[in-house]
Amino acid sequence: YLRYITKIMNIADILTKENIITELNSYDKKGVLDELSSFLKDKGEISNKENLLVALIEREKLGSTGIGENVAIPHAKISEIDKIITVFARSQNGVEFESLDQKPVNFIYLILAPENSTGQHLKALARISRLFKNSSLRKSVLHAHKTDQIYSILVDEDSKFI
């Protein structure tokens, strides 16, 4: 019943084309988290890169956000934002992320939520996790050449979920 009252969160609601990195430079978890933190700082989405990096590393200490199938969904709550911010990043070669299945990670979907938010980031996590269970989606995203293509693939596939 409550499901119909609350608006369904779509990927298009939380991801912009500007927040897609088509190819990461980093090859390990710490490098990726640092690169993503710098990316958001450079874009002006966050003001304190170090705080974000510490929050992400602390979260990883609880257990890797590498969920398997070449996917990682690092996430953190930070006080300086008032809405969910996401970044999607791809690594063609794969990154060592201490994933549950020990496979390298090609797809990193960062989720940041305001410190006081409860359900929003969990909805986003669930949505993204479900989206990336699709092996043909992963293959399409891996072989896409442009930001626009990656964005379209993610949004189009996501729109198939109710």
Residues catalogued as catalytic: 75
Give one word for 53, left, alpha or beta, with left for phi > 0 and alpha for psi -120 to 50.
alpha
- Burial pattern 136-148, b for ≥16 Cβ within 10 A else e, equals ebbebbeebeeee
Task: Give, to the nearest 10 degrees, the angle between helix 147-158 and helix 119-131.
Answer: 100
Q: Which helix (H) or strand (E) holds 75?
A: strand 75-78
